[in-house]
Structure 1
């Protein structure tokens, strides 16, 4: 009952996609809610009337336990149609919840089996991965060695080629100089 004012404030707020009629219907339902709650018999008011007013009083501070069987007869725990409906709805929802939990449990069992299979496969793949890693490391080392040797070879070829070009250019310059010397003489 304490939450009804909060619920009324929330019902007053506008909501996107809600028509004006729906909004008014919603607010009317919230206003009617306290009366509907009070209309539901829960047995607590009848029990306090039957017990002779077992409330606390300032003059009598002793607690009295009365275990007479007449107070707990069939009238005390009499079920109403609404309480029967509530119990049936509770049992139905509990059954649906149990079914849902069973489905979730089966799904978790399936996932567990898949995870165990994956773990076994990984355990089988580890030696292969180690072997591949060893081969990759060896190949990388061989490639580095070959790159160093290739660099040395290219440097040697380049230097010998440059030497040949230098001799050819020197011969051409000497030929031009000899031609000029003969032409000017």
Structure 2
């Protein structure tokens, strides 16, 4: 860890717990210096970025690291454009602003710009320095010659700045892992697509075979209905025949029993005669 990181972390810890400092809390009020109000807000945001970048060094999940680095880059871009522009507008604001005070404010702006660029974002290959604030003829943040912060490269396109997209070891490892995962996923999807196509072909063949078998199935059902009707008719006839035979048998049995009874009666009568 560099001396700059140690300093920034110490300042972040002090700012985190300064609300518990009673004298500072009592003396804190609305300032008459609009520049310092904006500067303190920007400085606090930069400290938060530094703290987030330091905490991110302990993260092991590559996807989380990539997401957080993207958020840090977006926050840096906002600070380097909107926040610095707001500071530039406040350079000459306030009571009793002298040339010396303007130079000091310009130096503060340049310092905070350097601090913003120094925040690691996962893609910076080094500390990128913008155009020096307040250097050169007429470079005082005026409307005629404002400070230009080339955050996204010439023409406003980030692709024009090769350093912005230069890989680090971590991003290269993440990209290789992503490429290998994509290849494996494509292979699995290809196998699934082949399986689905094969199942669709089997389903179409089965449907064609069912369509061909439908007439035969209909004919079989008609024959079954016909046979069922004939069986019902034959069963009815057989039932009537059985009923008739049962009635005839009962009549014959009755006649035989009557004859036997008459014979027994005649035999008894002849014995007593």
Interval of TM-score (by shorter of Structure 1 and Structure 2): 0.5 to 0.7
Sort the Cα spacing of 1:33 and 1:45 in 2 relative to 1 into closer, same or farther, 3 A: closer
Determine whether 1:36 maps to 2:59. Answer: yes
Q: CA deviation at 1:183?
A: 2.7
Return the match for 1:97 from 175, 179, 185.
Answer: 185
Q: What is the distance in 2 between the residues matched to 1:50 and 1:139? A: 89
Instruction: Kindly provide the CA deviation profile for residues 139-181 of structure 1, in whole angstroms up to 9, marking residues without a partner as x.
Output: 0010011011111111111111111111001111111112222
Q: What is the distance in 2 between the residues matched to 1:34 and 1:179? A: 132
Name the counterpart of 2:72: 45
In structure 2, stretches of 5+ residues that fail to align are: 1-54, 88-148
Name the counterpart of 1:117: 205
Q: CA deviation at 1:49?
A: 4.5
Name the counterpart of 1:144: 232
Q: CA deviation at 1:80?
A: 1.1
Q: What is the distance in 2 between the residues matched to 1:50 and 1:122? A: 67
Return the match for 1:131 from 199, 219, 224.
Answer: 219
Instruction: Kindly provide the CA deviation profile for residues 15-51 of structure 1, in whole angstroms up to 9, marking residues without a partner as x.
Output: xxxxxxxxxxxxxxxxx99822599472653665477
TM-score (norm 1): 0.68
Show the 5 A alignment for 1:15-94: 35-36=58-59, 40=65, 42=69, 44-45=71-72, 48-49=75-76, 52-54=79-81, 68-69=153-154, 72=158, 73-94=161-182
Displaced runs of 4+ in structure 1, greater than 6 A?
none
Report how many aligned residue pairs link the two structures: 149
SS at match of 1:74: coil
In structure 1, stretches of 5+ residues that fail to align are: 1-31
- Worse-superposed segment, 171-180 or 39-48: 39-48
SS at match of 1:76: coil
Q: What is the distance in 1 between the residues matched to 2:216 and 2:232? A: 24
Sort the Cα spacing of 1:45 and 1:134 in 2 relative to 1 into closer, same or farther, 3 A: closer
Q: Highest CA radius of gyration, 1 or 2?
A: 2
Instruction: Kindly provide the CA deviation profile for residues 108-144 of structure 1, in whole angstroms up to 9, marking residues without a partner as x.
Output: 1111111111011001110000000010000001001
Instruction: Kindly provide the CA deviation profile for residues 42-70 of structure 1, in whole angstroms up to 9, marking residues without a partner as x.
Output: 2653665477534569x79xxxx976429
